[in-house]
Amino acid sequence: MSTASIHPSEQDTELQRRKQETLQLLTAGNPAGIHKGFFLSGIAIILTFGAVWGAYLLLRIAMEGSFTSVGIHEVNAHGHAQIFGWVGLFVMGFAYLMFPRFKQTALSWPAGAKLSLVLMLIGIILRSALEPFAQTAPWTVWGALFGNGLELIAIGIFLHQMVGLMRRSVQEINGSDVLILSALGWFAVQAVYETVYFAAIAWAPTREAMLHLVATWQAPLRDAQIHGFSMLIIFGVSLRILPAFFGWRTPPAGAGKWLAVVLSAAVLVQIVSFILMREVGYRWGALWAVAAVVLLVGALWQVKTLGVFGPAGLHNRSVKYVRTAYAWLLLSLVMLVSLPVWQFGILPRLAPEGGAVEIGFSHAYYGSIRHAITVGFISLMIMGVGAFVAAETRWGKNLPKLPALWLPFILVNIGCAMRVFFQLTTDIGAWAFPITGVSGILEVTGIAIWGGHMAKVMLGR
């Protein structure tokens, strides 16, 4: 029910009901505060192997004037920390805190939550720290794969707990649950996929064989991680919490069931069609384009159903993060749908002698799409929802007295906008590389300010 469509007195009652629902969701039980360990670990990873390492790599790329000036294992170590350490740890911490409340059922093995954190954290550190040396010190591959194994065990424990909650709950499975379960399925798939993929490229017999594996299998892996796992988990959680947290529209009980099926199918088609494009022929690109359009339509449905860009009935500092995150998502998917237009229509006119035209693929444009969704959508959602949950569980009614977090919001958005625009511009002129390099520093600074505030809030300072 939209608060804008009811009588003022009824609107006040509705807002009070939602505030009470939020309070019950956030304060019921959880004496151990397990989410704090996951959240703080996620912040530590993003400020070391994640965003900071990524900003360092970007500066090297800017100085060299080429996106191929850094090694694939360096780039993938950064990507692994982002997906498993930033997104994965925050998703797991949020789920251990909130999903028992969603389903009104206790965890079957509470100690397993702490064990999964320890295993996940050790695994992420081993994999991200050792992978950059995979080519120069082959023994590090075994250590990195051992880290992958610990992550797989941790994810297995986590998924067992979450599926158990769903099975034991007396509540019916709703649309939000189906989206969440679909996302958790992709979480498992991408974890296995990444382990096998890393072993394959690390032990490729020749450089040519490794490059072929990267060109064929890396983009589908990112689709599984970003569109399959990250986007679907955010969609499912959004349907459940955004009406209660921010006063946006309450979706119908079944909303999301068909969306989970359609979007999961679109991601699967996206993955398979890309591999077929590489291995069989580019005519399969038509199927890939259809999947991209389906993803965009699904995102538009999600935004419309929740009324994200409409007025928020409950105002707090996180609203701007969530609303802007969805805007970045739509931009990313519009860019994805427009990729053939850029590659075969615009770029040949602007830079006919450029390398992207010669090889028939723009790494810069594709990277801009990825950055818009990973930093613009996923990271801003983590920052907005994470700040709300951490502060509400600790400070409750004193939340309005906390800082509005405008500075990290502005820095991350400016950095993301610079990266997205100037990275794709590098296809046209090398002058854009230095500006692209600066963008990472702005993003890291914003995340560091936000992370410091989060640590103070969760530690009660």
Domain-embedded: residue 23 = no
Residue 461 reports pLDDT greater than 70: no
Residue 358 lies in a domain: yes
Burial of 179 per CB tally in 10 Å (0-12, 13-18, 19+): buried
Lowest mean pLDDT among 27-41, 133-147, 151-165, 205-219: 27-41
Q: Is residue 120 part of a domain?
A: no
For residue 269, tell me if it sits in a domain: no
pLDDT digits (tens, 9 = 90+) for 226-252: 999 999 999 999 999 999 888 888 888
206 contacts: CB under 8 Å, gap ≥ 6? none
Supply angle C-alpha 92, 94, 97, rounded to 5: 105
- pLDDT, tens digit, 9 for 90 and up, residues 310-364: 888 777 889 999 999 999 999 999 999 999 999 899 999 988 888 878 887 888 9
Looking at residue 42, its pLDDT comes to 97
Question: For residue 30, is it within any domain?
Answer: no
pLDDT digits (tens, 9 = 90+) for 372-411: 999 999 999 999 999 988 876 555 545 567 889 999 999 9
| Angle (nearest 5°) at CA 214 between 211 and 219 | 150
pLDDT of residue 215: 92
Residue in 140, 128, 152 with CA at minimum distance from that of residue 53: 128
Q: Which of 385, 383, 372 is nearest to 407 (CA)?
A: 383
Amino acid at site 394: R
Nearest CA to 386 out of 89, 53, 163, 2 is that of: 89
Q: Does residue 33 lie within any of the structural domains? A: no
Judge whether 237 lies within some domain: no
> Do the Cβ atoms of 256 and 178 come closer than 8 Å?
yes
In this structure, what is the dihedral angle of CA atoms 208, 210, 216, 217, given to the nearest 10 degrees? Answer: 180
- Structurally, the chain folds into a number of domains equal to 1
pLDDT for residue 440 is more than 60: yes
Share of the chain above pLDDT 90, in %: 70
Q: Does residue 282 sit within a domain?
A: no
Domain span at residue 360 reads 307-461
Angle at 56 between CA 351 and CA 413, to 5 degrees: 70
What single string gives the DSSP state of each residue in 282-342? GGGHHHHHHHHHHHHHHHHHHHHHHTTTS--SS--TTHHHHHHHHHHHHHHHHHHHTHHHI
Across the chain, what does the average pLDDT equal?
A: 90
What is the pLDDT averaged over residues 443-448? 97
Q: With helix as H, strand as E and coil as C, how does 132-145 read?
A: HHCCCCCHHHHHHH
